[in-house]
């Protein structure tokens, strides 16, 4: 087997809260509070997040950290 740069690519890691916050145009603290279940975005903001990350608004409104991260990861793998 010949080893090429394609076969040696490092697997993509999950996005950090900081990366999510930058793409969502909110603070990392707000993303952290969503993941901890302390705050939830408004419907308008959840729709914006869904559009930016290719998810559904519901995952942002009702999902756990794991569900949100899985939804983002599923979209970024495509």
Would the pTM of this model clear 0.95, i.e. be above it? Answer: no
Long-range Cβ contact pairs of 10-14 (< 8 A, separation 24 or more): 12/76, 12/77, 14/69, 14/72, 14/73
Q: What is the pLDDT along the chain (78 residues), one digit of tens a residue?
A: 455 544 445 445 688 999 999 999 999 999 999 999 999 999 999 999 999 999 999 999 999 999 999 999 887 666
What are the extents of the domains in the chain? 17-77
């Amino acid at each position: 087997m010949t080893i090429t740069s394609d076969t040696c690519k490092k697997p993509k890691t999950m996005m950090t809260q900081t990366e999510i916050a930058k793409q969502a145009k909110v603070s990392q603290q707000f993303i952290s509070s969503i993941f901890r279940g302390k705050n939830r975005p408004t419907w308008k903001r959840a729709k914006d997040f869904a559009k930016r990350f290719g998810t559904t608004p519901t995952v942002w409104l009702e999902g756990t950290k794991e569900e949100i991260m899985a939804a983002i990861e599923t979209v970024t793998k495509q």
